[in-house]
């Protein structure tokens, strides 16, 4: 019998093990739902599976009677647009700021403490400022996400730049690299994988800020919908939306991981 730390499950059993917690959760839900509904058929907390099917049909397939839109896709489109634009802006700030701060000591002195302080401000605390200054439209929501995510990415990417062995940077200079070539040919290419890691890690907070902004001021979006139907305790809407959000977030994370392995194979740890 090998030690537990050396016991690796086969591919099949790893899959089965991974699915187990999900299956247990689903079973627990079905059991709880059935028990509660048997006691009180009008119970709203744990709707029966059939209720989800009805909701999905009326939200994701049929048009809304009032607006003439299919709400599910309207909300998804609006939220994804905000999130992706905000993440793209954050990634750009992250790589540019991280490279500048990580590569140039002058920039580190100039912006290092500032970015560190910026990253400490709780973004939700400045949400009112954003709404007052930028209005209730899309800009404020995107700004909140960028504000919450970009400083962390800048810090993470610049830390990575600082971790590059001094030997490498000296070597590049003995090969005749100028500051510019050092930044673009040696440092920057080694920061891309870390940018992807940083994006993956901040994905959770990006969603948090998106939903918070949508809950407070919006007319469509996944977060808006959840908080809207909360008033009617419509668990049959909230739960599918939550699962959908989770699925979207998971897919984004998976795509980022795939892109890292595909485009930066040298950075994969073996």
Partner 1 sequence: MASVTVKHLWKEYGDQVVLENLNLHVADREFVTIIGASGCGKTTFLRMLLGVEQPTKGQLLIDGQPVPAEPGPDRGIVFQRYSLFPHLSVLDNLMLGLEFSGSRWLGKLFGAKRREALEKAESLLEAIGLHTARDKYPSQLSGGMQQRLSIAQSVIREPKILLLDEPFGALDPGITADMHEIILRLWQANRMTIFMITHDLKESFQLGTRLLVFDKRRHDPHAPERYGATVTYDIPLNRKKHTAPTPALTAELVR
Residues ≥6 apart with Cβ < 8 Å to 8: none
Of the pair 185, 257, the CB lying nearest partner 1 is at: 185
CB of 33 to partner 1, least distance (A): 52
Do 66 and 250 form a contact (C-beta atoms < 8 A)? no
**Shortest distance, position 190 Cβ to partner 1, whole Å:** 5
Task: Pick between residue 66 and residue 262 the one whose CB is nearest to partner 1.
Answer: 262
CB under 8 A: which stretch of 54-62, 147-155, 177-185, 221-229 binds partner 1?
Answer: 177-185
Of 58 and 173, CB closest to partner 1 = 173
- 246-254, long-range: CB within 8 Å, 24+ apart, which pairs? 248/76, 248/80, 249/203, 249/204, 249/207, 252/203, 253/200, 253/203
* 3-class DSSP state of 68: coil
* CA separation for the pair 149, 82 (Å, rounded): 13
Specify whether the CB–CB gap between 182 and 173 falls below 8 A.
Answer: yes
Q: Which of 175, 243, 258, 261 binds partner 1 (CB under 8 A)?
A: 175
Question: What binding mask, one character per residue, do residues 21-60 give for partner 1 by CB under 8 A, x or -?
Answer: ----------------------------------------
Binding mask 153-172 for partner 1 (x = CB under 8 A): ------------x-xx-xxx
208: CB partners within 8 A, 6+ apart: 148
Q: Please report whether residue 205 would count as binding partner 1 according to CB under 8 A.
A: no
Among residues 70, 126, 136, 177, which is the contact residue for partner 1, using CB under 8 A?
Answer: 177
Q: How far is the CB of 253 from partner 1 (least distance, A)?
A: 23
Six-digit token pair at 43? 């119970």
> Could you give the CA distance from residue 241 to residue 230 in angstroms, rounded to a whole number?
12
Residues in Cβ contact with 239 at an 8 Å cutoff, skipping those fewer than 6 apart: 47, 52
Tell me the window of 85-93, 120-128, 150-158, 260-268 that interacts with partner 1 (CB under 8 A).
260-268
State how far the alpha carbon of 11 is from the alpha carbons of 15, 18, 82, in Å.
6, 11, 38
Pair of tokens at residue 187: 């440092």
> Taking the complex as a whole, how short is the minimal distance between the CB of residue 84 and partner 1, in angstroms?
27
Query: Does 180 help bind partner 1 (rule: CB under 8 A)?
Result: yes
CB nearer to partner 1: pick between 128 and 189:
189
Binding residues for partner 1 (CB under 8 A) = 165, 167-168, 170-178, 180-181, 184-186, 189-190, 264-267, 270
């Amino acid at each position: 019998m090998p030690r537990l730390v050396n016991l690796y499950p086969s591919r099949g059993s790893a899959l089965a093990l991974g699915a187990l917690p999900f299956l247990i959760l689903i079973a627990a839900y079905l059991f709880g739902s059935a028990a509660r509904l048997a006691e009180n058929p009008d119970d709203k907390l744990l709707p029966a599976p059939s209720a989800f099917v009805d909701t999905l049909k009326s939200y994701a397939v049929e048009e809304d009677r009032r607006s003439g839109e299919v709400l599910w896709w309207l909300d998804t489109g609006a939220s994804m647009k905000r999130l992706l634009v905000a993440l793209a802006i954050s990634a750009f700030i992250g790589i540019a700021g991280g490279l500048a701060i990580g590569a140039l000591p002058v920039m580190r002195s100039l912006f290092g403490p500032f970015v560190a302080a910026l990253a400490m401000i709780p973004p939700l605390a400045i949400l009112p400022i954003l709404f007052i200054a930028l209005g209730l439209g899309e800009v404020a929501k995107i700004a909140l996400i960028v504000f919450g995510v970009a400083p962390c990415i800048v810090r993470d990417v610049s830390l990575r730049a600082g971790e590059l062995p001094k030997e490498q940077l000296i070597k590049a200079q003995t090969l005749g690299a100028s500051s510019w070539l050092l930044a673009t040919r040696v440092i920057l290419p080694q920061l891309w994988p870390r940018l992807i890691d940083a994006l993956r890690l901040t994905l959770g907070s990006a969603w948090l800020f998106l939903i918070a902004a949508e809950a407070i001021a919006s007319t469509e979006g996944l977060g808006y919908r959840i908080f809207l139907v909360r008033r009617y305790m419509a668990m049959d809407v909230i739960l599918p939306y939550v699962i959908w959000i989770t699925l979207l977030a998971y897919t984004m994370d998976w795509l980022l991981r795939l892109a890292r392995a595909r485009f930066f194979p040298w950075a994969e740890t073996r």
